[in-house]
Amino acid sequence: MERVIVAETDRIGDVILSLPVFKSLKRWNKSIYTVALVSSYTKEIFKNFKYVDNVIEYHSHPKISFENTLLKIKSENFDTAIVLHPEYKVAKILQKARIPTRIS
């Protein structure tokens, strides 16, 4: 089973516009395990969205641990990362998590 994380850490409008990405991934291959990396204030959008298997909260606030988010992502052993809203800190986390395929 392929494991894919999709990072969309922008505002609510862009997050809503990203929903078809998750649906397309599942239509392409139903066995893909999809995880959304999203801001804390947009995570509720994914709560009952059937095309997302899990949600990881991204905190851009400097007091929230970079390492904590990194450990969560590393523990999932993702094969692919898709970054929809490029942000340096997100890119750095995904690189340090050693995800083999990173698309932005």
Does residue 1 surpass a pLDDT of 90?
no
Measured torsion, CA atoms of residues 69, 72, 78, 84, in degrees rounded to the nearest 10: -30
Q: Which residue has the tokens 């929903």?
A: 19
Listed residue (17, 18, 59) closest to 5, CA to CA: 18
Domain ranges of the chain: 9-103
Q: Mind listing the pLDDT tens digit for each residue in 24-33?
A: 999 999 999 9
CATH for 9-103? 3.40.50.2000
Which residues lie closer than 8 Å to 90 by C-beta, 6 or more apart?
A: 7, 9, 37, 58, 83
Q: Measured between alpha carbons, how far is 104 from 41 in angstroms, rounded to an integer?
A: 22
* pLDDT on residue 47: 86
Burial group, residue 19, by CB count within 10 angstroms (0-12, 13-18, 19+):
middle
Q: Per residue in 40-81, pLDDT tens?
A: 889 999 988 999 999 999 987 766 678 889 999 999 999 999
Q: Write down the pTM of the prediction.
A: 0.92
